[in-house]
Chain A
Amino acid sequence: MMEKVKIIIDGKILEVPSDYTVLKAARMAHIDIPTLCYMEGINEIGACRMCLVEVKGARALQASCVYPVREGMEVYTNTQKVRTARKANLELILSNHDRKCTTCVRSENCELQRLAKELNVGDIPFEGENINYPIDNLSASIVRDNNKCIVCRRCVSVCEKVQTTGVIGAKNRGFKTEIGVPYDKSLKDTSCIMCGQCIQACPVGALREKEHIERVWNALENKDMHVVVQTAPAVRAALGEEFGLPVGTCVTGKMAAALKRLGFAKVFDTNTGADITIMEEGTELLDRINNGGVLPMITSCSPGWIKFCEHYYPEFIPNLSSCKSPHTMLGAVLKSYYADIMGIAPEKIFVVSVMPCTAKKYEIDRPEMEVDSLRDVDAVITTRELARMIKEARIDFVNIDDEPFDNPLGEASGAAVIFGATGGVMEAALRTVAKKLTGSPLDEIEFKQTRGQEGIKEFEINLPNITLKGAVAHGTGNARKLLDNVKSGKAQYHFIEVMACPGGCVTGGGQPIPSFKTKNELDIFSLRANALYEEDRSLPVRYSDDNEFVKKLYEEYLGEPNSHKAHEILHTNYTKREKYSDDFLDMTSVGETV
């Protein structure tokens, strides 16, 4: 056990592990020290100077987030000197910050705005020089506005340390320090995986998703189009937060009702696409195992992960399942089978996906994501964008009555809804595969080995004629470790699930950004994931292969899973991509008129 030391903070005697920082000790004792750049374990660099405290005997005020505790240390967090210094630092940060708060995407959920209010900052006594930075809006998923950036480096740390992509960094020096891509190029031309974890990390409005809201409003206005919407499993577990509902509230019925009020002709559940995915992917797995195919097979639901694999581990491309992701599968089904049975011309169908994900915006633009030159999906809005649309339409979300998803797709299985949490795709596949191999429904349908926040989860399942070895990784940093183990022969598996975002889709880059306080106090991942596990338990159908619509789809249209027809519309292929492209310097620079 770690040795403990006694320290005194604001007169309160505390006993804390000797490797603690003053900030960590204070937070343990519910002594509130403000921070901006600090992210525990990820970005502890003492850059923003908001966490300054007085340490008895120390020469100057100290940044508590990087100041280690020491036996007998006396700390004061609330003296005139501390308050004045913190406030002056905050005023300096604000002095060259683009302070158009009313029109900022992060208004009311901005850590800088919140601190300005809490530290009682009034007029800024000095107006700093404002460098007018061009906005990088060339990427399909992520927009960066450095006029709002406070150079805290949280996005940089997440990108490099958590996701191990490191496509952005600090450039130049001093006042001219700027976060971004080398040579003023756009994120678009880097090996950015579009996961949006940088957006989740940003304390201010410097990072946001590329909005598709106008695209959707315009489609809804076009009376020639049959505009349908589908919602990913993780959206229902978080959307309520945007309307003040507690974290972990499942809002499936309210969400469906609100979407109908927005004017969509039909509201479908991406879970149906997830059930189709299990049919295709499960069959593909058994086929690879039985016929000497490339193993381990790796899931392909997460477009961030796919892009990561293409850039950083192209040698694993043959291991990727050829399945499209659930929402693109469903999009393709809507523009073929659904169009047929409804008697609607496929080109008149406009498919909108509501996703917890920013990478899905990039995914729908991939050239492969089409059938007969019709795009599988026409627009992707994040959970946050949906909330904005609902607010703009003045829908009383909290008080709206639940409504079901529309027919003919109806309700999907419980196996599909858990896709939204890390391990969920694996568990859903195991249910169907195990049932198929044992020939009867399972005694224990929940595969707990796949659940939880451990970065890499490994397990073995005994099935007739095979002991299935699997692993689940979430966050591409963990995926990297797992793949390195597979590459070196240290570990062997049949089946691997990878989700690009830590925690999986429930904590995806397109999800509501919890306030600073909420993030500190609650286990966001577990609360949202449990909402999905609850919904799974409440559903009558819990195997993907028991989904009535999916059965009919195969009977009437696709034939068998992995059939020729299924391959034509539900499967895809991948491309090896450079980490650093040779013609990088010829790419459009940010702010350059194209």
Chain B
Amino acid sequence: MAIDNEMLMNIINKNKDNNGALMQILHDVQDSFGYIPYEAQKVIAEELNVPLSEVYGVITFYSRFTLNPVGKYKVGVCLGTACYVKGSDKVLERIENILKIKAGETSADGLYSIDATRCVGACGLAPVMTINEDVYGKLVPEDVDKILAKYK
């Protein structure tokens, strides 16, 4: 996949000489590109003079970074303990069925991606799902249909 090289180099050059440059660059690339493609990892590795294996290692360590494009709408379903005992697995299952993708995947039209997350810190609302910055709580699986319909 072709990437915007100028944008990438701007991000790298802006952070290059700072301590912890790799993390900053990965954050900015994730935000600007929606993911961190292999082509970008290669350039980052070369420019920072660190092995590709290290860049890849950092990306896969933090759930904030993704190797594939995330959807326009990032659907998160909390599988933390409280949500889980309140049946969030059923919520997730319903979302997967409706969107026809699994957790960790992005729909073919690039609209949705699903994330099975750890605790989002809203246990009082369990079970919880998030779509980008919006939070929905006290869900039953049937609620999902209406909620998703709002995001087109």
By a beta-carbon cutoff of 8 Å, the part of chain A in contact with chain B is: 156, 160, 165-173, 181-183, 579-580, 584-585
Contact = CB atoms under 8 A, between A and B. Distances in A.
A171 B51 contact: no
B38 A584 contact: yes
29 contacts: A160-B51, A160-B54, A166-B50, A166-B52, A166-B54, A167-B53, A168-B53, A169-B51, A169-B54, A169-B56, A169-B57, A170-B57, A170-B61, A171-B56, A171-B57, A171-B60, A172-B60, A173-B61, A173-B62, A173-B63, A182-B41, A183-B38, A183-B56, A183-B67, A579-B46, A580-B45, A580-B46, A580-B52, A584-B38
A166 B46 CA distance: 12
Interface residues of B, number: 17
Contacts of A183: 38, 56, 67
B42 interface: yes
A181 B56 CA distance: 9
Contacts of B63: 173
Nearest 10 Cβ contacts at the A-B interface = A166-B51, A169-B53, A182-B56, A169-B57, A580-B42, A173-B61, A172-B60, A171-B60, A170-B57, A169-B54
Contacts of B67: 183
Interface of B: 38, 41-42, 45-46, 50-54, 56-57, 60-63, 67
Contact residues of B: prevailing secondary structure: helix
B47 to A, nearest CB: 12
Contacts of A166: 50-54
A172 B67 CA distance: 12
Given A160-B51, A166-B52, A580-B45, 18 more contacts: A165-B51, A166-B54, A167-B53, A168-B53, A169-B51, A169-B53, A169-B54, A169-B57, A170-B57, A171-B56, A171-B57, A172-B60, A182-B52, A182-B53, A183-B38, A183-B56, A580-B42, A584-B38
B38 A585 contact: yes
A360 B50 CA distance: 28
Contacts of A156: 53
Contacts of B60: 171-173
A182 B39 CA distance: 13
A585 B38 CA distance: 8
Nearest to B50: A166
A27 to B, nearest CB: 30
B21 to A, nearest CB: 17
Nearest to B61: A173
Q: Determine which residue in A160, A166, A580 has the highest number of CB atoms from chain B within 10 A of its CB, and name it.
A: A580
A173 B57 CA distance: 9
A177 to B, nearest CB: 8
A172 to B, nearest CB: 5
Given A172-B60, A172-B61, A173-B61, A181 B42 contact: no
A584 B46 CA distance: 16
B76 to A, nearest CB: 17
Nearest to B53: A169
Contacts of A167: 51, 53
A182 B61 CA distance: 12
Contacts of A182: 38, 41, 52-53, 56
Contacts of B42: 580
Contacts of A580: 42, 45-46, 52
B69 to A, nearest CB: 14
A171 B63 CA distance: 12
Contacts of A171: 56-57, 60
Contacts of B52: 166, 182, 580
A94 to B, nearest CB: 25
A170 B55 CA distance: 10
Nearest to A182: B56
A181 B53 contact: yes
Nearest to B62: A173
A584 to B, nearest CB: 7
Nearest to A584: B38
A580 B51 CA distance: 10
A579 B41 CA distance: 13
Contacts of A168: 53
Nearest to A164: B51
Q: Determine which residue in B41, B52, B61 has the highest number of CB atoms from chain A within 10 A of its CB, and name it.
A: B52
A21 B54 CA distance: 27
B79 to A, nearest CB: 14
Contacts of B46: 579-580
